[in-house]
Amino acid sequence: MDNRAPLWMIGATALNRAGGLIMILILGHAIAPDLLAGYFSAIVTIGVAISITQAGCGPLLVRLAQNRQWRAVMGIVMLRVALALAAIIILAPGLPPVAWPVLMMPLAAALSPDWIITARLQFHRILAIGSLGQIAGIAIALYASAGPATNSTAWLYGCAPAISLTTCLASAFWAWSGGHKPRHSPANTSPAAIPLNIKIWPQLVLLTLLAGLLPNIDIAFLPSTLAQSDHDALMLVHRLLLLCAAGFAAISGVLFAQKQTGAGRDIWLFIPALCMALALLILPNAALTLLFGHSSAASSDILRLAAPWPLLLALVLRQILILQERSGHVVLATLAMVICVGGAAALAQLGTVDGIVMAMNAKLALLAGLFMMAARLDVWQRYASCQN
């Protein structure tokens, strides 16, 4: 088992973030603000379609591939393609004609076989795929901003699709190329892999969706009555928290694919989380200045209140990794989704930033406690069953 695997995924995440920042800097200095606003609006719209297309299927496809359940894999991929085509048909009339390249993104996301590379534990390939995608996107951005002859809106709308198509093609090359054999793959260690129990599919999808929603959904429900200065400060803090969440998502994806348990799983999750929490608590000004080039007293105070958030998120992700492949937790996963969405709606009723941040921490703590109780009950039931 490759102990450096989480580092490959963290590197890929950092590379994608850096590439996106470079593209924004290039386009922001060369494209008119009104054109950029339209472009970002189209990307947000198509991003929703991509989320629906991929909804919670990633870990399920990884495990099905590792267990050689190819018929189920093909069914899920066909469903993803159907969802992508439906999203394209629905969204196309609402987009300007010049934005047609972004309509390719849901289909590229549905067809991309990057989950095969993850199932094979070839995480170094994920970093290479991300590099190629970012290079393609930056190249199109440079071409779009090169001068009057090429500074057209059509090339602007080609930046994000260039990333999607390049990563899809690179994933397909490494997934299907016969020259690259799977390394350390659980499917190769035994002649007959045990099929994944179909009863856990719904909870696996629900818990995957939960892990994806947790970092973003609270901010999506922010009240319009919040003061503009408080809103801006909270958005800056949330952007920093999203960087922490992206790192945890990469790490937990690796731990899931490797079927990592015990101390190894906890070390990879909690040591980075503890370091992040301490940095946000002790050095909030330095963290904000490093990311945004400036900091304010209001943002620093909010960041200190949010310091437990990375640690609580890591705890929730740990419990999800423990429970998502144990049968009998569909009701728990549904309840957690209700708490996630309902808690975000209730959080929006709070009128102060401090209250919102503390409620965000409290919601994660509630979910972590709920999952821990379920895990203990699950262990007790298994123990009682063995005794009987």
pTM (predicted TM-score): 0.73
Beta strands in the chain (DSSP E): none
Distance (Å, whole) CA 183 – CA 123: 10
DSSP per position, 239-306: HHHHHHHHHHHHHHHHHHHHT--HHHHHHHHHHHHHHHHHHHHH-HHHHHHHHHS---HHHHHHHHHT
- Nearest C-alpha neighbor of 209 from the set 308, 312, 336, 107: 336
In the block, tokens 């190329």 appear at 177
Neighbouring CB atoms inside 10 A of 294's CB total 10
Q: How far is CA 136 from CA 46, 116, 159, in A?
A: 19, 22, 8
Distance (Å, whole) CA 160 – CA 105: 8
Q: In this structure, which long-range contacts are made by residues 116-120, counting pairs with CB atoms below 8 Å and at least 24 apart in sequence? A: 116/65, 116/171, 116/175, 117/171, 117/174, 117/175, 118/58, 118/62, 118/253, 118/257, 119/61, 119/62, 119/63, 119/65, 119/66, 119/182, 119/185, 119/187, 119/257, 120/182, 120/183, 120/185
Neighbouring CB atoms inside 10 A of 217's CB total 17
Q: Is 14 exposed, middle or buried (0-12, 13-18, 19+ CB in 10 A)?
A: middle
Average pLDDT per consecutive 10 residues, the chain (388 residues; last block may be shorter): 66 78 77 74 75 72 86 88 89 86 91 88 86 92 71 79 93 75 45 69 85 80 75 81 83 82 86 92 86 77 92 93 84 92 85 88 94 76 50
Residue 257: its pLDDT value, please?
79
Q: How far is CA 226 from CA 299, 303, 346, 356, in A?
A: 15, 17, 15, 11
Q: How far is CA 63 from CA 119, 124, 256, in A?
A: 7, 19, 9
- Nearest C-alpha neighbor of 113 from the set 167, 162, 193, 179: 167
Residue 185: its pLDDT value, please?
45
Residue 63: its pLDDT value, please?
85
The dihedral built from the CA positions of residue 175, 176, 182 and 188, taken in this order, carries a sign that is positive
Maximum C-alpha span of the chain = 79
In the block, tokens 């399920």 appear at 60
In the block, tokens 């994000």 appear at 160
Residue 147: its pLDDT value, please?
59
- Nearest C-alpha neighbor of 255 from the set 242, 264, 247: 264
DSSP per position, 189-225: SSSSPPPPPGGGHHHHHHHHHHHHHTTTHHHHT--TT
Are 151 and 26 spatial neighbours (Cβ–Cβ below 8 Å)? no
Phi and psi, residue 78, nearest 5°: -65, -35
- Nearest C-alpha neighbor of 121 from the set 179, 65, 51: 65
